[in-house]
Amino acid sequence: DEARAFGDIVDDRYTVSDKIEFLINKIEPGESLSLQSLFEKATSKVEVIVTFLALLELMKMNQFCARQSGLLGQINIERTIPE
């Protein structure tokens, strides 16, 4: 079963924890970045998904927040300032 063999291929170059570290190092507290720019240099769909999951996890931990300038406006990701 050649098709079955290909189904077992896993792309594990990207982890959520690595992307969390990447985002924390990329955006300083109080700074922001457009959501679109986070994905511009992604080389695969897997990288986009893992980056998005890392961002959601950081938002859940109140380390990042998302802001939108208006209806259908650009979404910016902002690193929160620790209190």
List pLDDT tens digits, range 21-43. Answer: 999 999 999 999 999 999 988 88
Name the more confident of 53 and 5. Answer: 53
Could you give the maximum distance between any two Cα atoms of the chain, in Å? Answer: 57
Range list of β-strands (E), the chain: 32-34, 64-68, 75-79
pLDDT given at position 13: 82
11-79 has which fold? Answer: Arc Repressor Mutant, subunit A (1.10.10)
**Residue at 13: amino acid letter:** R
The distance from CA 59 to its chain's CA centroid, rounded to whole angstroms, is: 10
Name the more confident of 77 and 12. Answer: 77
Cα distance between residue 82 and residue 50, in whole Å: 25
pLDDT given at position 12: 61
Model confidence at 64: pLDDT above 50? yes
Q: What is the mean pLDDT of the chain?
A: 86
pLDDT given at position 34: 94
**DSSP SS3 for 38:** helix
Structure token pair of residue 35? 């959501």
Model confidence at 54: pLDDT above 80? yes
